[in-house]
Amino acid sequence: MVDTKVNLSGIIIDNPIIPASGTFGYGHEFAGFYDINCLGTFSFKGTTKEERFGNPTPRIAECTQGMINSVGLQNPGVESVINEELPRLKKYFSKPVIANVSGFSLEEYIYTCQRLDEQDQIGWLEVNISCPNVHGGGMSFGISPQSAFKVTKEVKKVTTKPVYIKLSPNVTDIVSIARACEDAGADGISMINTFMGMSIDLKTKKPVIANKIGGFSGRAIKPMALQMVYRVYEAVKIPILGIGGIADAGDVLEMMLAGATAVQIGSQNLVDPYVCKNIIEDLPCVMRKYKIDRLEDIIGGAH
């Protein structure tokens, strides 16, 4: 019998399959499709201090092997998440959940992280310093080691739970930024967020999405995500949540061999709402195919 459990900063999860923030809401819609307690955990919708309507529509454009999105962190604000979303979540998800946090200032990151850290249902905090589709948002904190260090250090001062910093691939040297986060006390790294991309409508001869440029994600980015996870794994000693283009159990094994302790699945949830459930069910068979008895044994195995 194969063992799919992994240790995520002291919390054992049943399997490494985690829906990524922004593609799974607060779990409510997906709970109507299947029992989401089969997941290792999930990262809920990016939360800011205040309510946000998000960017103007249209916000999403399909493209070859992926999609462009510019949602703009639409969310009800941290107090509504605490008072409304988390009590509802407790009715259909019994495991610790990852709280994804975004901000427009250091003070906002500190406030939102501190509030969510106080909630029993939160197992980990995922601090997004990498959002490419909000003007003046998290991206400005994620483009240099110095700013990444500062956000991480300040958030760690007000939290007790594991803090994972979500990194952007749209930087010159992602390895130095990951090292800065580790030096500042980060418990883990989430990587990668979306690349910058756009799509143009040939009929109107204009960009498809209102924001013109947004985040490019989907199966097409997996090779780029893999090499970044591979390089960062060699530079840091903290766990990595591998993200980017994962759509089947084989992709999960690849990402873990590159150095990920667990994986997040994003865009594919919008293509197939059952993708995470199917991967969890397929994983033992694919592990046996490649003679893998215990998932934790293959983390970083490609190095």
Q: Is the pTM of this model over 0.85?
A: yes
Q: Is the pLDDT of residue 221 over 70?
A: yes
- Reply yes or no: is the peptide bond before residue 58 cis, omega within 30 of 0: yes
Classify the C-alpha dihedral 128-132-137-139 as positive or negative: positive
Nearest to 68 by CA among 247, 225, 218: 218
**Which residue among the candidates 113, 131, 181, 276 is catalytic per the annotation?**
131
CATH class of segment(s) 6-54+72-196+216-298: alpha beta
Strands 122-128 and 163-166: parallel
Nearest to 39 by CA among 285, 243, 277, 286: 277
pLDDT tens per residue, range 125-170: 999 998 655 555 455 788 899 999 999 999 999 999 999 999 999 9
Can 276 be counted among the known catalytic residues?
no
pLDDT tens per residue, range 58-76: 999 999 899 999 998 999 9
pLDDT at 134: 55
The torsion angles phi and psi of 202, rounded to 5 degrees, stand at -70, -25
What's the CA gap between 23 and 265, in Å, rounded?
8
Q: Tell me what the pLDDT averaged over the chain comes to.
A: 95
Number of H helices, E strands in the chain: 10, 15
pLDDT tens per residue, range 243-284: 999 999 999 999 999 999 999 999 999 999 999 999 999 999
